[in-house]
Structure 1
Amino acid sequence: MYSKRIIALFLFVCFTVVGQQKITINEIYNGTFRTKGMDELQSLKNTNQYTVLNVDRQSRSMSIDLYDFETLKKVSTLIDTKSFAALANGIDSYTFDASEKMILLACNSNQIFRHSFTADYYVYNIATKELKKPFDFKVQEPTFSPDGKKIAYAKDNNLFVYDLASNTSTAITSDGIKNSVINGITDWVYEEEFAFVRAFEWSADSKKLAYIRFDESKVPEFSMSMFGKDLYPTIDTFKYPKAGEKNSEVSLHIYDVNSNAVKNINLGNYTDFYIARMKWTNDANTLSAQVLNRHQNNLDLVFVNGDTGIAKVVLNEKDKAYVDVTDNLTFLKDNSFIWTSEKDGFNHIYLYDKNGKLKNQVTKGKWDVTEYYGLDEKTNTVFYQSVENGSINRDVYRISLDGKNKLRLSKEIGTTKATFSPNFQFYISTFSSASQPTKYSLNESKLGKEIKVIQNNDALSEKLKAYDLPAKEFFVLKTDKGNELNAWIIKPKDFDASKKYPVFMFQYSGPGSQQVANSWINSNDYWFMMLAQQGYIVACVDGRGTGFKGAEFKKVTQLELGKYEVEDQIDAAKVIGNYSFVDKSRIGIFGWSYGGFMASNCILKGNDVFKMAIAVAPVTNWRFYDSVYTERYMTTPQENASGYDQNSPINHVDKLKGKFLLIHGSGDDNVHVQNSMQMMEALIQANKQFDSQIYPDNNHGIYGGNTRIQLYTKMTNYIKENL
C-alpha cells in the first residue's frame, strides 16, 4: 500500500511535468504542431473569386471549392473526389484554362528531382461535370492553350500537343533521348538553380508554342548507387555539370500549330549562355527571353518576332558580381512592362516602354522589394511586398505607377503576404510572426483594413500554452570588426542570468538567404525550443552574404564563398561567448547544405571557438557543386582556383580539434554524397577522429517514414553528449 504522502508527492510530480510539457521529436514530425492553411489557394482571373483545395479527413476526400472575395462565402464545390473513383488517391495540384471553365488535375505524382514530377492528369469540365483522362500514361507539365482547345505536354524528353476535340496528340519533337536531348523541359541544373521545369510557352493567340531545347550530350554524367531492398543495387545516372565543366547547349524554337513547322531562333552572338526565362508578351507575335552569359554578370532581355525569328535586345543589365533573373516581368496592355532590378543597389520596381526605354523607377529607397503582386491598370496602382519596415519583416504596400502616394497596407509587425482579387479591390492577407501562428484574413486594398478573419490558428496557440515555449528574441549583433548582423536567440524559459549556459548556433548563410526572419516557427525552431527546454541557449546570426539588406551586403562574398561568412560566424560566436551567462568553452554550430559547408568550416577554421559541429549534406569542395550556382558567385575553378580551394573545408581537415558529426543521404542528387565521402577520406588521412551517418538512398532532404525522427534524435543525443 502507498502512503498518502507518497501519493501526494506523485500527483505533484505529475502536475509539474504536465504543467511544463516538454516538446518531443516525435511531436515535431508527426503533425502535432501543424498549422491550418489554405491549400492551393488560387485567385481567379475572370471573376472576383478564389479557390482552395480542401481535405475532408473523415470521408478521405478532397474538393476544390470556390469562394467569393467580397463575402468570403463558399459559392460552390467545383469538384469532389468522392464523386469520381478515378480520383480515389486525391488531387495533388490543379490549374484552370484561361476561360476558367476547365480544370487540369494532377494525381498520383511521381517526384523526379526537386521541382519536377510526372503525374496522371485529368481534364474536368465544370459545367458538364465530365471528367476525362486525355493520356493513359504519366506526363510532365501539361498546359492549356489560351483558347482552351489544346494541351501541350512533355513525355520522354519530347513535346506534344493534344487536341481536346479530336482526342489526338501531335508530336512537336522526336529527337528527345534520355541523358542526351530534352525538349521543353529543363535539365537538372536549370531546374535546381533557375527554379523552373516547364520550358515551353503558348502565345496569347494559341497559334504558336515556344520552347527551349537542351542538348546535354556533352555534359558529364553523375552516377549514384540506389541500394533499395533487392539483391543488387541499381545505378541512377544523370547529367550534372559541375563547376567549370560543359553545360547543356540551349537553343530557342517556335512551333507553328497550323503549319506544324518549327522555326529555329538565332538569339544573337552568344556562346556558352543560359536562357533563364522566356515569356510571350501581350503582342501574340512577340516572345521575350532573358539571356545570361555563363558568368551571369550580363543579362539581356531579348524580344523575338514570332514570324521572322529576328531577335533584338531591348534591355541590358550588367553587374560586377552577378545579375539576378527576375520573375516579375509583367507586360501591360500597351506592351510596356514592369521589371525589378538591383541596379541602384537595392531591388526595386521599374517601368519600361515597349521598346525597353525607362519610363520611371516606381520604388526607391535603401530597402528591397521582395514581391511584386501586380498593377491595377484602372487606377495605375502597383501592389508589392518589401522589407522597408526592417529587413526581418515583410509588409504589403501600394504605390502609384509614378512613384507617388505610397501606403503601407499591412498593420502588424511580422511577415505579411497577399493574394489579390482580380480587380485588386481585396486581398487575402497571410500574416505570421515569431510569436503569432499564421492568420488568413480578408482585407480591402485601399487602406488595408481587415474585413474578416478567414482562418486562424488559435487552437494551435491554445495547445502551445501547455508547452510554455521560450521566445525567439531578435537583436542586431555587432562584431568586433564592426559588422552589424541580424540575429535571434532562444533562452531556456527558466533562464537564470547568474548561470553559465552552453550555446548551440544554427545558420545557413548562403548568398541572398535569410534565417533571421520574423515569421512563424518551423520544425527546426521547435527542435531549438526543445533544446532550450533541456538547458541550451540557441542562437542564429545572418552574416554578410545573406539577403534583404541590399546588393552590397549580399555580394561582398563574391569570388570567396565561405570566407566572410565563416569569419562572421566565428566573430559572432566570440561576441556571444563573452555574454556573462554563456560558457564560452561550450559553443556548437549546426547547418544543412550551405549551412553544412559553413558548420564544417567553422569547426576547422574556428577550432578555438567551437567545441562541436554538425554538418548535414554539406558541400565540402566547391569543385564538386553545379556550374550555375557555383559560377554565379565564384566564376570557374579554372579562373579562380584559390577562391575555390582556400575556403573549402576539405582542405582544412588538419585543423580539427572538436567533435564533428558528418551526415549525408547517399541518394542526394543535389549535393552529392561524394562531398562527404571525400571529406571523410581527408579526415582519415589526417588521422582525425570524427562521427558520421549515411542515410541510404535519401536525397538532399533526408526524410520519409521515421527518417527525420531518427536523424533529429541522433543529433540531439550528439549535442547532449558533446556540448
Structure 2
Amino acid sequence: MTGQLSFPRQHARTQRFTLGAPRAFSVSPDGSRVVFLRSRHGTDRANLLWVLDVAQGREYPAADPVALLGDAGEELSAEERARRERSREGASGVVGYATDSAVELAAFALSGRLFVTELRAGTTTELPLNDAKGPVVDPRPAPDGRHVAYAAGGALRVVGSTGTGDRALAEPAGTDVTYGLAEFIAAEEMDRFRGFWWSPDSDALLVARVDNSPVQRWWIADPAHPDREPAEVAYPAAGTANATVTLELIGLDGTRTEVDWDQERFPYLARVHWSAAGPPLLLVQTRDQRTQRYLTVDTTSGATRTVHADEDDAWLDLFPGVPAWTPDGQLVRIADEAGARVLMVGDQRLTSDTLQVRAVLDIGERDVLFSAAVGEGAELPKAPGEIGVYRAWFRTGGDEPGSGAPLPNVPGGCEPVGALAHPAITSAVRGGDVVLLPSSDLTRPGVRVTLLRADDERGPADWERLAEITSHAERPVIEAAPQLVFAGERNIPCAVLLPTGYAEGDGPLPVLMDPYGGPHGQRVVAAHNAHLTSQWFADQGFAVIVADGRGTPGRSPGWEKSVRHELASVTLQDQVDALHGLADRFPLDLGRVAIRGWSYGGYLAGLAALRRPDVFHAAIVGAPVTDQRLYDTHYTERYLGHPDEQPEVYARNSLITDDGLSGAAEQIRPMMIVHGLADDNVVVAHTLRLSSALLAAGRPHEVVPLSGVTHMTPQEQVAENLLLLQVDFLRRALGLTTAGFGAGAA
C-alpha cells in the first residue's frame, strides 16, 4: 500500500506530491465555470482536463488522455520534450491548454495531435490536420473560438475549430528558423513560453520569428548508449550570440507586416500583450538588461512607439502579468522605486513601501489583483515566508483627479483577498466576481483551492465562500515542522528543521545547510510541502537550515541586486552568517556542518567546501554551474556582465579558476558531485571541468553521473535513490553512525 512506502519512494512516486493536485486554472468571465488540470490520484502522472460547474458544485472530466489515445500511449516529440524541460513539467497527459475568451472552447496537444474541447458539454474532438509537417505544439484558440493556431514543424498554422481549413500562415525557409515558438532564452530565463498572440478581434496574430543560425551548437551525448547520435542543442552561452527574434503581424487573410523596433539595441523580446483595451504592447530589453522600453505597435504599418522607459544601474527584472492595459487604456507595470517594488497604473502608484509586489494576477474595470510579500519598507513580520494576494483600486478616466479608490474605507485603496488564518503562499485567478484562490500554508500539506465571490456592497473584505476544488494528492508519510525565523545582523530569512521527536536534552546535532540561495529561488516559504525533503533529512539526525540570503526574492530590490558582480562571495557569506546567527538559538554542532544543493544550490555547496572549509566539513554538489562562461546569456550577463568586458568578474565567481579553488589546501573537505548526463540547461561539462580542476589540485572527490537524467531528475528510482545516496555520503563524511529519528527515516 502507498501508506507503507518510505518517504524517499513516496516523494519520488508522487513527483514531490504534485500528482493529483489541481492546477492551471481558468475561470469563465461570468464566473460560472472553472477549468483546470488534475490527475485521478496521487501517483497518476496523466492529467485530465476538468470543468467545475460553480452553481451546481459539480466537477466533470472534459478530456481524458487515456480515452483519447487508447492503447497507443503518449509519444513526445523533441519539441514537446524541450518545452516541458523549460517549464519543469514532469507530468503527462494534458499538461497545458488554452481557451477562447469566453472559456467555452479549450485546445491542447496530446502526442503531437490537436484536440479541442467543448467545455460546457465536456466533449473532446481531435481535429484532422492536412499538411502539418511535424507534431502540434502550443495550440491556442482565437478569442472568438472560431479558429485554433498552433506551431508545427517550425511553421505557424491555423485551422478552423471544427477541423476545416488547416493551413500555414508562416513557414520557415530553413531548419534554423521557427515561427510561433519561444526561443531557449525566453522560455528558460524570461518565463515567456509563447511565440504567438491572437488579436482581440481574432483576425490576426503577432508571431515571433526565431532564427537560431547565429547560436553556437553544443552536442549532448548519452555515454551509456554510444550507438546513439548526440543531441544537437543551440545553446547561447554567456558572451556568445543569441537567436535573432523578430515579430510579424500576420492576418488570417494572408497579409504580413513586420514589426519594427531597434532590435540591435533591444534584442530581447521579453513580453507581448494584446487586448481590446489598446494596441499591441511589447516589452524589450537591452542585452545588459539595464534599459527597457514599453512599445506600442501600429497594426497598420508595424511601426512602434515608446510609451514608457526604465533604466537601472544593476538590472531590470521581469514580472508575470505585466505590462498590460487596464480596460480604459492605462499602462500597468511593476517598478522599483525608492527601494520598493511597487504597482503602477498610469502615473498612479497603488502600493506603499510596505509591500513588495511579485506579480499582477488580474486587471479589472477599476482594480488590480496582485501578489506581494511584506518587505523591508515595513517592520519585519514575526516570521518570513508569506506571499499574499491583494486588491488595489485605481482612478479611471472618468474619476476626478485625486478622487482615490472607489472604496474610501480601504486604507490606501488596497486590501488582502481572502485573508487566511495562517501565514500562507497564495495566488489567484479571477473571472467576473469569482476569485479562485490556491493557497498553501504550514498547518497542512498540499494546496487548498477555494472559490470566493467579492461582495463590494457589503464591504471591501467581505468574501463569500462558494466552493473548493478537491485535491487527490497523497498525504506525506512525514510531517514537516519548520521554524521560520530571521538570523544574523541582516535578518536573513531561514527555515530550521529538527528531527521529529527531538528533545532538548538530546544534545547538539550535526548541521545540514540545504539552500538554493540564489536569484529567483525563494525556499523559505510558509508552505508545508516545500519543507518535506528538508524534514526528511532532519529525521536522519540533522539540524537542517534553509537560508534565503541576498539575491533571493521577496525582501526588496536592493536585497536582490546586492549580488551584482559578486554572486559567489555575497551568497556564500550569507549562508555562513545564517548558520552562525542561529547557533545560539538552536542545538547546532558547528564542528560537523555539511551543505547540499542543486543547480544554484549546488554551486553554493561547491563554494562552501572550497572557499570556507573552516565552516563547512562536507558538500553535496548537485548539477552546479561551475564555469559561468558555460551558462546562458540572459541569466549570467544580468549578474556578471559580459565575459569579454569583465573577465575578472567571471574568474572570481567561478569554481574552477584559482579564485574558485581558494580554500586552504590542508583543509580538504569531502565532496560528492552529482549531475545528469542529459542536462541541457546546466550541461554536464560543468561537473567534468570541476572534477578535472579538483583532480589537478590534488583534491579527492566523488562524482555520481546520472545516465539519461536532465536537470529535473524526474525518474522515480533515480529520485528515490539519490536521496538515500546523499544520506549515506553525509554519514560517512561527517563520521556519523546514528540511523536517524522518526518514522520517516527509513
TM-score, scaled to structure 2: 0.83
Partner residue in 2 for 1:695: 706
Moved more, 88-97 or 410-419: 88-97
Alignment of 1:169-184 (within 5 A): 169-178=166-175, 180-184=176-180
The answer to whether the aligner puts 1:384 opposite 2:370 as a matched pair is yes
Q: In structure 2, what is the equivalent of residue 209 of structure 1?
A: 205
Displacement of 1:276 after TM fit?
1.0
Deviates more, 1:144-153 or 1:23-32: 23-32
Q: Which amino acid aligns with 1:381?
A: D
Q: What secondary structure, in the 3-state scheme, does the structure 1 residue paired with 2:292 have?
A: strand
Relative to 1, partners in 2 of residues 1:268 and 1:48: Cα closer, same or farther, differing over 3 Å?
A: same
**1:454 alignment partner in structure 2:** 468
User: Do the aligned residues in 2 keep the contact of 1:243 with 1:637 (CA within 8 Å)?
Assistant: yes
1:581 aligns with 2:564: no
CA contact (8 A) 1:51 1:65 kept: yes
Counterpart code for 2:206: A
Question: Once the 2 structures are TM-superposed, how far is the Cα of residue 98 of structure 1 from its aligned partner?
Answer: 3.0
**Equivalent residue, structure 2, for 1:444:** 453
Cα 1:470–1:520, aligned 2, differ >3 Å: closer, same or farther? closer
Is 1:334 matched with 2:344? Answer: no
Q: In the TM superposition, what whole-angstrom CA distance separates every residue of 1:179-233 from its partner, at most 9, and x where no partner exists?
A: x22222122222211122321111112222211222221211111113465x613
Contact 2:115-2:124 at 8 Å conserved across structures: no
SS in 1 for 2:355: coil
Q: Which residue of 1 aligns with 2:86?
A: none
Structure with higher RCO (Cα < 8 A, 6+ apart) = 2
Give the one of 208, 212, 229 matched to 1:234.
229
Write out aligned runs for 1:541-690 (5 A).
541-577=547-583, 581-651=587-657, 652-653=660-661, 655=663, 657-690=668-701
| Structure 1 residues 130-185: Cα deviation after superposition (integer angstroms, max 9, x where no partner) | 7232337521112222232322221222222224467233323333533x222221
Question: Counterpart of 1:383 in structure 2: which amino acid?
Answer: L
Following superposition, the deviation at residue 333 of structure 1 comes to 2.7
Give the CA deviation at 1:87: 9.4
Q: After TM superposition, give the deviation of residue 551 of structure 1 in Å.
A: 0.4
Which of the residues 252, 271, 275 maps onto 2:269?
Answer: 275
- Unmatched tracts of structure 2, length 5 or more: 74-92, 375-380, 395-403, 406-411, 456-460, 735-746
- Which digits, 9 at most, give the CA deviation of each residue in 1:2-21, with x for residues without a partner? xxxxxxxxxxxxxxxxxxx9
* 2:496 is the counterpart of 1:500: no
Could you say which residue in structure 2 is the equivalent of 1:223? 219
Does residue 1:527 correspond to 2:533, yes or no?
A: yes
Alignment equivalent of 2:345, drawn from 346, 351, 370: 351
Aligned in 2, Cα 1:566/1:127: closer, same or farther, shift over 3 Å? closer
Instruction: Describe how 1:697-712 pairs up with structure 2 within 5 A.
Output: 697-712=708-723
Tell me if the contact between 2:384 and 2:526 (Cα under 8 Å) persists in the aligned partners.
Answer: no
Calculate percent identity across the aligned residue pairs: 22
CA contact (8 A) 1:55 1:62 kept: yes
Q: CA deviation at 1:693?
A: 0.3
Residue 512 (structure 2) pairs with residue 515 (structure 1) = no
TM-score by length of structure 1 reads 0.86
Deviation at 1:261, TM superposition (A): 2.8
CA separation of 1:456 and 1:201: change in aligned 2, threshold 3 A: closer
* Pairing 1:370–2:364 present: no
Q: What SS does the corresponding residue of 1:721 show, helix, strand or coil? A: helix
What is the match of residue 183 of structure 2?
Answer: 187
Matched to 1:292, the amino acid is: Q
Q: Is 262-271 or 149-158 further displaced after alignment?
A: 262-271
| 1:319 aligns to 2:320 (yes or no) | no
2:28 is aligned, of 44, 48, 61, to 44
Identify the residue that residue 253 of structure 1 maps to in structure 2: 248
The code of the aligned residue for 2:148 comes to I
Q: CA deviation at 1:22?
A: 10
1:295 counterpart residue number = 288
TM-superposed CA distance for 1:264, in Å, is 1.8
CA change 1:365–1:146 in 2 (3 A) is same
Stretches of structure 1 lacking an aligned partner (at least 5 in a row): 1-20, 109-118, 353-357
Cross-structure match for 2:145:
148
Q: Considering only aligned residues, what root-mean-square deviation do their CA atoms show, in Å?
A: 3.0
The 5-angstrom pairing of residues 75-86 of structure 1 reads 78=62
Q: 1:683 to 1:171 in 2, by over 3 A?
A: same
Distance change in 2, residues 1:376/1:563 (3 Å): same
In 1, are the aligned partners of 2:281 and 2:294 still within 8 Å (CA)?
Answer: yes
User: Would you say the 8 A contact 2:47–2:95 is kept in 1?
Assistant: no
Pairwise CA distance, 1:289: 1.1
Query: What amino acid is aligned across from residue 702 of structure 1 in structure 2?
Result: T
CA deviation string 1:312-347 (max 9, x = no partner)? 111101111111223322323332232222234322
The 3-state SS of whatever aligns with 2:170 is coil
Change (3 A) 1:81 1:483: closer
Count of residue pairs the alignment pairs up: 670
Q: Take 1:622 and 1:445, find their aligned partners in 2: how far apart are those partners? A: 49
Distance 1:311 1:528, change over 3 A: closer
Comparing 45-54 and 449-458, the one that deviates more: 449-458
Choose from 483, 488, 491 the match for 2:490.
483
Residue deviations 1:282-317, cap 9 Å, x none? 267x32111100000111001110102221111101
Amino acid corresponding to residue 139 of structure 1 in structure 2: V
Higher mean alpha-carbon deviation, 588-597 vs 469-478, is at 469-478
1:618 counterpart letter in structure 2: P
